[in-house]
């Protein structure tokens, strides 16, 4: 089996079958000043069925942090509630996320002060310490949500499988550009509508239909390989736009789960969407480059050509069943 086919198969089959649509679940630290140098702290830590990440926020030694409510266990997170007190303002003091460098998650930090200042920034395993800025920085908000958008799409394996299937179906650069543009436009519309409260759909059915959309495309690839004409092969942009509307609601669910700075919602929304597009472009360039390699590298046997759509369909079918059971 040639190297190109092996690479694509590895990308598909190496995914855990129980991988969910939105693998990126950063921790979230919300700090609200309620009186002079006194803060309510909400600490949301990602968890799995049997494990909670051992990470904690550490503040300047002059501050005291006391738990006010017992931890609450949710489906994907554990919520901790504290009160933070100190003799000085948080501005220009050091914030550290202990043990973050031993994990693979980010921490979104949201700080709101009584003077109206609002700070949003991202801490990562490679940078788990920061001096809280004295003045708000819009560029820091923009950079935070661009990074979150890129990470979300590159680790959102069901969205990537959908895009991969579109690339395998679409023939010709102009048609491919039209198809990807239609998908981008569609999910941008519903992402914006959902976050702004204009329209929304319940998460579990959306996730199930996203998996179903991938199964549908896998079946369409097999039809095309057999030479059977279909609307998908003739107008892939139409299918991409239709299902892209649902994928946008999926992106919105992830963004709302991550959290948005209330005073910077338009900026956060725009830059998260930009990050999603940048991640998608990177993936498209990678796959398009592989598919454009000389034909001597491509599989010659019919059964080899069928492996990829069957692999895509199998993974998506498992997700579909898993998500329906989870209703």
CA distance 272 to 266: 10
Mind listing the pLDDT tens digit for each residue in 231-261?
A: 888 889 999 999 999 999 988 887 777 777 7
**In this structure, what is the dihedral angle of CA atoms 262, 265, 267, 269, given to the nearest 10 degrees?**
140
161, 214 Cβ separation under 8 angstroms: yes
pLDDT at position 39: 96
| Model pLDDT for residues 32-70, shown as the tens digit of each residue | 999 998 999 999 998 876 788 889 999 999 999 999 999
Q: Which element (helix H / strand E) includes 287?
A: helix 265-291
Residue 21 pLDDT: 42
Strand 129-131 with 94-98, pairing: antiparallel
The answer, yes or no, to whether residue 20 has pLDDT greater than 50, is: no
pLDDT at 264: 80
Give the pLDDT confidence of 165-181 residue by residue, as tens digits. 988 888 887 888 888 88
3-class DSSP state for residue 113?
coil
pTM of the model: 0.76
pLDDT digits (tens, 9 = 90+) for 193-218: 988 889 888 888 999 999 999 999 99
Write down all domains in the chain, each with its CATH number in brackets: 3-22+156-325 (no CATH), 27-136 (2.60.40)
């Amino acid at each position: 089996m040639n190297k190109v086919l092996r690479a694509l198969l590895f990308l598909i089959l190496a995914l855990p079958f129980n991988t969910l649509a939105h693998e990126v679940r950063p921790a979230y630290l919300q700090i609200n000043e309620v009186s002079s140098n006194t803060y309510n702290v909400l600490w949301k830590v990602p968890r799995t069925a049997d494990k909670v990440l051992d990470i904690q926020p550490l503040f300047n030694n002059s501050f005291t942090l006391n738990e006010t409510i017992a931890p609450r266990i949710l489906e994907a997170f554990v919520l901790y509630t504290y009160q933070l007190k100190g003799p000085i303002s948080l501005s220009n003091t050091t914030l550290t996320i202990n043990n973050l460098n031993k994990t693979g998650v980010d921490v979104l930090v949201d700080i709101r002060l009584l003077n109206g200042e609002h700070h949003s920034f991202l801490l990562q395993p490679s940078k788990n310490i920061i001096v809280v800025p004295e003045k708000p920085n819009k560029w820091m908000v923009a950079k935070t949500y661009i990074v979150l958008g890129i990470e979300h799409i590159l680790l959102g394996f069901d969205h990537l499988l959908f895009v991969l299937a579109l690339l395998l179906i679409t023939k010709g650069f102009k048609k491919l550009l039209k198809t990807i543009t239609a998908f981008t436009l569609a999910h941008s519309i519903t992402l914006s509508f959902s976050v702004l409260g204009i329209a929304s759909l319940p998460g579990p059915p959306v996730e199930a239909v996203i998996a179903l959309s991938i199964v549908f495309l896998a079946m369409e690839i097999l039809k095309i390989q057999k030479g059977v004409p279909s609307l998908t092969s003739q107008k892939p942009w139409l299918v991409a736009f239709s299902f892209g509307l649902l994928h946008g609601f999926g992106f919105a669910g992830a963004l709302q789960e991550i959290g948005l700075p209330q005073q910077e919602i338009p900026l956060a929304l725009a830059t998260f969407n930009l990050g999603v597009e940048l991640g998608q472009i990177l993936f498209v360039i990678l796959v398009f480059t592989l598919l454009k390699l000389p034909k001597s590298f491509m599989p010659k046997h019919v059964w080899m050509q069928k492996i990829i759509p069957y692999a895509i369909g199998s993974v998506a079918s498992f997700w579909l069943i898993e998500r329906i059971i989870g209703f």
